[in-house]
Structure 1
């Protein structure tokens, strides 16, 4: 049986169970993901979770000598995971704790205790961010720009050596939150590199490629690393949500209203394409 205050220590992190939250403390070390170093610790309210599961994992020699405890955040509850949009490598997932195989009973008890306290509406998108945004770097150095965010606007200062001629000719850019509808983060770890793009309101045309888009910065080797660029993107996304909150999808609303609302969440960048498609199919089936 898991009680309040119980701590489950695993590889590079420890989870502490509380009556209304799970406190995750990330260890510092050579093998700890740099994103976890940047996060330090995070308190995850139980209302921000949709589920938790325990599974066995094969070790280096194929033996099932480890167990994985993973919490599943609700859609729209965590700005970091919303910005990541499923692009984080498994080893960097801050909701995943790897434990020695002999800790399986404790992991199962921990999961059961969390499940007992999950909110009834956990399968619905959250109407606001429930997990605090991680502190972003004051400036983000991309391959073609240096980005800044002061809480009200995002600035792009182009690099003379990295920026395309189109960006350099246009000059530095400043985008107020009022002019934005969302943030798109593409992991620098993906093939071909990544980027951070601001989605602008009242723009019907498809955006230009990131290296020519004046509202985008391109990542590259040594530029825009996950532990720096993802918290930056999450901070901008959280500020946008506070400026223009979107109502939750009530259970009692008619199917067509719920689908309309899902479209609103998707258009403002609060649901990824995959999440939107999954929820749309679910609501349409229940019409």
Structure 2
């Protein structure tokens, strides 16, 4: 197969027939902000075609954006032409075998994160990356529990073990960006009380997601 192009309600997927996917996102504000991303076949573990559509299954550790967005599936494409989807999936599957791409976790990032600033403002804090540290500057609205570790509170990037981003889900819900360190307790407070979390602004959720993905690549180069 020479390649193919699939149109979905969540964007367009172009397979070059050799070893590269180009995804032009659309359909939702977040996906539209993502624009176009390039995914090498080495980042894939499998391709599945279901009644819902086409889904790419990435290897763990291949895409920092996916690593921080577990509640949001960025590689599902509903509403595609099933016959063409099956043809592309079959061709990609054969390419995975030819290239002997392992199904194990990737030891390096294979998909670049979107550009992100070094500073982002949330509902209760502002986060800044500078001089090898992540600094939380809490807003006046933040309570005493939030400021328990100091205000501002800085943590070396080398001490950050993980980064997560959770979108706001439902009316009145609040999304958040949160880090985990070696000192993090197994039982965590709610994000609005957690010193290591920032409540995100609904209008800037994509910015928080991009910041989180970029931060993850800094702590796991």
TM band (smaller chain): 0.7 to 0.9
Match in the other structure for 2:20: 21
**Paired residues of 1:8 and 1:15 also in contact (CA < 8 A):** yes
Q: CA RMSD in A?
A: 2.5
Gaps of 5+ in 2: none
Distance in 2 (CA, whole Å) between partners of 1:105 and 1:115 is: 15
Q: Normalising to structure 2: TM-score of the pair? A: 0.84
**Could you say which residue in structure 1 is the equivalent of 2:35?**
40
1:81-130: CA deviation from partner (whole Å, max 9, x where unpaired): 11113x11xxxx32122235xx2221111111111111534321111111
Distance in 1, Cα, partners of 2:135 & 2:20? 35
The count of residues paired between Structure 1 and Structure 2 equals 215
Tell me which residue corresponds to 1:112: 90
Structural mapping, 1:28-107, within 5 Å: 32-57=27-52, 68-85=53-70, 87-88=71-72, 93-100=73-80, 103-107=81-85
State which of 123, 130, 146 in structure 1 corresponds to 2:103: 123
More strand by share: 2
Higher helix share: 1
Q: Deviations over 1:224-279 (max 9, x none)?
A: 62x2222221111111111xxxxxxxxxxxxxxxxxxxxxxxxxxxxxxxxxxxxx
CA-to-aligned-CA distance 1:186-213 (integer Å, 9 cap, x gap): 3322795342222223x26446523333
2:208 is equivalent to residue 229 of structure 1: yes
How much has 1:150 moved relative to structure 2?
A: 4.7
Which aligned pairs between 1:256-267 and structure 2 lie closer than 5 A? none
TM-score normalised per structure 1: 0.66
Greater C-alpha radius of gyration: 1
Unaligned runs of 5+ in 1: 58-67, 243-287
